[in-house]
Amino acid sequence: MAYDENLAERVRNLLKEKRIPFEEKKMMGGWCLLIDDKMCVGVIKDSLMARIDPDIHAEILSRPGCREMDFTGRPMKGYVFVDPDGIDLDKDLEEWVQLCLDFNPRAKSSKKK
């Protein structure tokens, strides 16, 4: 399954500008960035996949272009998709990426120790 490489490049450039080290992986049929061995943000098809604080999940869903992430047929709390109309402006994309970065230090790593 292909993903929007232009969107991936925009996200990659944002993190480089902020001097945040990251690891790139192709997973879940798309492209993901891991920070501190934790999935932080990614691109699936033409949408941004954002890992956010589960405590703000419900209120975030009212933002333009935002919808629940439901790979398994049921929504995954703390993960949302943002469609292209919600991230077409650089400032909008930066806000979404910042939400992911804000939550990342508290996120649980799925990496086996």
Mean pLDDT calculated for residue range 9-34: 94
- In 3D space, the residue among 68, 51, 55, 59 whose CA is nearest the CA of residue 110 turns out to be 51
Query: Which residues make Cβ contacts (< 8 Å) with residue 89, sequence separation at least 6?
Result: none
pTM of the model: 0.91
| The pLDDT of residue 1 is above 70 | no
Report the first-to-last Cα separation within the chain, whole angstroms. Answer: 30
- All domains of the chain in start order, with CATH: 5-104 (3.90.1150.30)
DSSP states of 41-94: EEEETTEEEEE--GGGHHHHTTSTTEEE--TTSS--TTEEEE-GGGTSSHHHHH
| The pLDDT of residue 111 is above 70 | no
**In this predicted model, what pLDDT tens digit does every residue of 22-47 receive, in sequence order?**
999 998 789 999 999 999 999 999 99
